Amino acid sequence: MDEPYRIKINGGVLSPGELKYICEAAESLGLDAISFGSRQDIIFPEQIDESKFDQFSKIQFIKPKRDGIQNIASSYVSAEILPSTSWLTSDRYLYILEQFKHKLKLRVNITDPKQRLVPLFTGNVNFIASEHEDYWYLYVRLPGWKKTLMYPALIYSWDMDKIEIAIENILQEEPETIETVFELVSDAVDTNNRTVDKTLEVPFYPFPYYEGMNRIGTDRYWLGLYWRNNRYDLKFLKAMCELCSENKIGKISITPWKSFIVKGIPQKSKLQWEKFLGKYGINVRHSMLEMNWHLPVNDPDALNLKKYLVTNFDQNDISTYGLTFGITSYESDTYNFTSIVIEKNKQPDLKGDFKIRDTYNLLYAKNFDPNTQKYIMHVQDVDKVELPGLLMELSQLYFEQLGTEREEEEAEVVKKETSEEEVYQCSECLTIYNEVYGDITQDIAPNTPFVDLPATYECSLCEASKSSFEKKVLVK
């Protein structure tokens, strides 16, 4: 299948005017619909006339595999409507995304660990918000790496772009370890890194229902729209953009689930929007059974398989609340980000007119949480007709395990609450030196006692002297 043309949408965020311009360009190129991609970009689902591209100066048409240009994914879409880190507001996302003006060679994710709608680790360079305002964990998985590894420092918001560029520039060195990446990046750019003082904690949340009209605060709403065939009618989208402008709605957000969200609909306009959706016959009450799937773009076989499985779930009254499903194939180079993965196997090479039915493998994420990045093989080489029963088994296992996990988590919390840990805290800015993590920003190795630090040691954030640090006992 020929790779379709795409349009980069920085962080999955665009204005109604920008979307309307894209829709008008698509119409001029002979299309009647556009699609959305898992990297929160826009896809032109059919062949288009490349000779007309010059007519649309504001659009760059790309094929990521051919051109080596990637889109930024971000959890801007979840701000205000899902659990979030307190300092990470919609405006903060926009300021950060504005930094990235170059053509990205690597997949970049900018996400909040407290939401579940946008995956955290599907990029090569993954910035994940920390509890420290304007500081981010960085998890790196360069092309060819088998694992995603934590960068040994927290990244300042306004350094993110130049650090990503520095990582792109060292690809030719083919670094094999995160320590090498850190050293090369530190040599290349000046940064305002902060010491990592605790590991990233990603709380578990069930996958959210993201469709329909939902309240924000007391006087606004957000609207999620999902079309199961991922073909969004251009006439509808243009009319919706005009309605957004009329209601002074500045941004539209694309999700990684082939859907989009409009935030900030005024309460006084709610009825107007409901009439608008009714006029175009838009259904906003899809079953959760079918909204939690990730499918390859323009793959009719995958879409038919999903319909077959969802129908079986529905007929058997199966709950999949909190779970996500992905359909992929042996040749896919994307990172899995769903709770359960249905992987299509390669058919053996045979001579003659023999036909062999497709077979599949079933994998599930550890604890059914894709953020663990660890997948367990459940079964291999099974026929399509066996999949519904096996998926129902996994669904039951999920709910059985869910209670057990919560009990284990509660026990772990109690255990942590009764433990104590000695650290040293800067009296000027309250930065913590934790002997377990050391301070790689100043070449202090992990497990280095505070007393062994050189007399010249300074706070990594405010540069206060070693004598400014005071011993503290953290109750954990």
12 SS3 class: helix
pLDDT value at position 420?
66
pLDDT (average), residues 41-63: 91
Residues 265 and 387 in one domain: no
CATH code of the domain containing 429: 2.20.28.10
The answer to whether residue 383 is domain-embedded is yes
Of 251, 286, 321, the residue that ends a domain is: 286
Tell me the C-alpha distance between 127 and 356, whole Å.
Answer: 44
Tell me the C-alpha distance between 326 and 370, whole Å.
Answer: 11
pLDDT value at position 406?
47
CATH code of the domain containing 336: 3.30.413
Decide: 43 and 271 in contact? Cβ < 8 Å: no
The 3-state DSSP composition of the chain as helix, strand, coil percent (nearest 5) reads: 35, 25, 45
Residue 402 has pLDDT above 80, yes or no: no
Residues 227 and 105 in one domain: yes
The answer to whether residue 193 is domain-embedded is no
pLDDT value at position 318?
87
Residues 6 and 89 in one domain: yes
**Res. 256 pLDDT band, cuts 50 70 90:** very high
The label of the residue with tokens 């030196």 reads 433
Strands 108-111 and 125-129: parallel
**Stated length of the chain:** 476
What is each CA distance from 447 to 378, 422, 434, 437, in whole angstroms?
39, 13, 8, 6
Q: Could you read off the pLDDT of 345-399 as tens digits, one per residue?
A: 987 766 666 677 889 999 999 999 999 889 999 999 999 999 999 999 999 999 8
pLDDT value at position 417?
45
Residue 234 has pLDDT above 90, yes or no: yes
**Res. 272 pLDDT band, cuts 50 70 90:** very high
pLDDT value at position 8?
95
Tell me the C-alpha distance between 273 and 279, whole Å.
Answer: 10
Tell me the C-alpha distance between 232 and 215, whole Å.
Answer: 24
The answer to whether residue 132 is domain-embedded is no
Task: Give the residues across from 411 on adjacent strands.
Answer: none
Residue 192 has pLDDT above 50, yes or no: yes
Tell me the C-alpha distance between 322 and 208, whole Å.
Answer: 7
pLDDT value at position 298?
77
The answer to whether residue 316 is domain-embedded is yes
119 SS3 class: coil
Residues 74 and 208 in one domain: yes
Residues 241 and 274 in one domain: yes
| pTM, entire model | 0.84
Hey, how many other C-beta atoms are within 10 angstroms of the C-beta on 300? 7
State the average pLDDT for the chain. 89
When divided into structural domains, the chain yields a total of 3
The answer to whether residue 154 is domain-embedded is no
pLDDT value at position 317?
87
Residue 365, phi then psi, degrees to nearest 5:
-70, 150
Residues 235 and 313 in one domain: no
Of 252, 286, 320, the residue that ends a domain is: 286
pLDDT value at position 159?
96
Residues 261 and 243 in one domain: yes
Residues 275 and 370 in one domain: no
Domain limits at 461?
Answer: 420-475
Percent with pLDDT over 90 in the chain: 64
pLDDT value at position 350?
63
Residues 75 and 220 in one domain: yes
Among 52-56, 235-239, 290-294, 445-449, top mean pLDDT goes to: 235-239
| Ordered DSSP codes for 224-273 | EEE-TT--EEHHHHHHHHHHHHHTT---EEE-TTSEEEEEEEEGGGHHHH
Residue 407 has pLDDT above 60, yes or no: no
334 SS3 class: coil
Among 4-13, 286-295, 328-337, top mean pLDDT goes to: 4-13
**Res. 313 pLDDT band, cuts 50 70 90:** very high
Tell me the C-alpha distance between 38 and 252, whole Å.
Answer: 16
Residue 419 has pLDDT above 80, yes or no: no
Decide: 182 and 153 in contact? Cβ < 8 Å: yes
The answer to whether residue 295 is domain-embedded is yes
Residues 398 and 463 in one domain: no
